[in-house]
A and B are shown apart, each in its own frame.
Chain A
């Protein structure tokens, strides 16, 4: 499976460097290494979800309780989380760091991913969620650090879109 182990490690280490100690996740292909790294890490609580929207509640609880967290999801998981994002994270000014695998973009070969890919950015914009791409190893650590800084200072959700060029080795 050509998911980049090297770049997954870079992302994971960058999250750890931000003191993130709780990760909620629902698996998808691009996230497999990240989830396994969390499984093997006694310093991080991995919460496996039935549906991504639960992660909004879990991250909200963790934030109010003083623990930094992040969410790993596919862009369809982001779609499934929107009510929680609006009616919990936005309503109550809760920081969320959402790492969203950006399926359905240029290079996508799975037809079933293409519809979600086409609406991901416009929905982030509509929701007023600041986002950046993670597409090259050089900026992964700084963008994750800056995303978390903004989430914490603005008390709002931010998104990092995990792009094919970073996650997939062909």
Chain B
């Protein structure tokens, strides 16, 4: 499956969620589908998107948080998986797009290309719901189930190592940051119950 197709499949549901993405291709592809004020793109600090998602989820349990992560980023903060599992926020869905490479910086292979199993690591860390998918339809189903589950879920989605032609967008980092904070300030917290 292509990551852009996976993003398209869940894009309508993301409207009701607080979304934190990693840098590079994930950020550029989600923006290409249409930026929303409830999307935050962490354009650096590899590994910390899941930690940011945890901070938001703990601070605002009434909001549904979605982290769109990647294999390279998760590998940089494997300990963060154990912290997620430790606090198990019910309002967090952690999607890991695993293309087995550092696509945004030359496509060099990550350790998932030689067998490291992020779903297995998440499970062994204590994440209560873990799904591993390789095709589009099961991915969309897993994501919908995770939103409905009311339990921390990590979905590892194997995707092809193909990304957008360009990574730069016309959204300045700080505009994104302050718009996102404003969205969270005004969010009423009905998003979870009404999704």
Binding site for B on A (CB under 8 A): 22, 45, 47-51, 53-67, 69, 83-84, 87-88, 91-93
Contact = CB atoms under 8 A, between A and B. Distances in A.
Given A65-B184, A84-B48, A54 B56 contact: no
B147 to A, nearest CB: 19
B82 A50 contact: yes
A58 to B, nearest CB: 4
Contact of B45 (A22, A48, A56, A59): A56
A43 to B, nearest CB: 14
Nearest to A58: B55
Q: Which residue among A22, A50, A58, A93 has the maximum number of chain B CB atoms within 10 Å of its CB? A: A58
Given A54-B79, A66-B184, A60 B44 contact: no
B70 interface: no
A65 B55 contact: yes
B79 A93 contact: no
A92 B49 CA distance: 13
A49 B80 CA distance: 8
Interface stretch (B8-16, B126-134, B151-159, B174-182): B174-182
Given A50-B83, A91-B173, A61 B45 contact: no
A48 B60 contact: no
**Interface pairs A-B: 8 shortest CB-CB:** A61-B55, A57-B51, A50-B79, A57-B48, A87-B44, A65-B59, A88-B45, A67-B59
Contacts of B51: 54-58, 60-61
A93 B60 CA distance: 21
B46 to A, nearest CB: 8
Interface residues of B, number: 35
A51 B54 contact: no
A67 B184 CA distance: 11
Given A87-B45, A88-B45, A93 B177 contact: yes
30 contacts: A47-B54, A47-B83, A48-B86, A49-B83, A50-B80, A53-B48, A53-B77, A54-B48, A54-B51, A54-B77, A54-B80, A56-B51, A57-B47, A57-B80, A61-B52, A61-B54, A61-B58, A62-B56, A64-B180, A64-B181, A65-B60, A66-B59, A67-B59, A83-B45, A84-B48, A87-B44, A87-B45, A88-B44, A91-B43, A92-B177
Given A57-B48, A57-B50, A62 B55 contact: yes
A61 B40 CA distance: 10
A57 B59 contact: no
Given A50-B79, A57-B50, A83-B45, A66 B55 contact: no
A105 B57 CA distance: 38
Given A49-B83, A64-B180, A66-B185, A57 B58 contact: no
Q: Which residue among B57, B59, B60, B174 has the maximum number of chain A CB atoms within 10 Å of its CB? A: B59
B42 A88 contact: yes
Contact of A58 (B44, B45, B54, B181): B54
A22 B58 contact: yes
B58 A66 contact: no
A161 B59 CA distance: 26
Contacts of B58: 22, 45, 47, 58, 61-62, 67
B175 to A, nearest CB: 11
Nearest to A55: B51
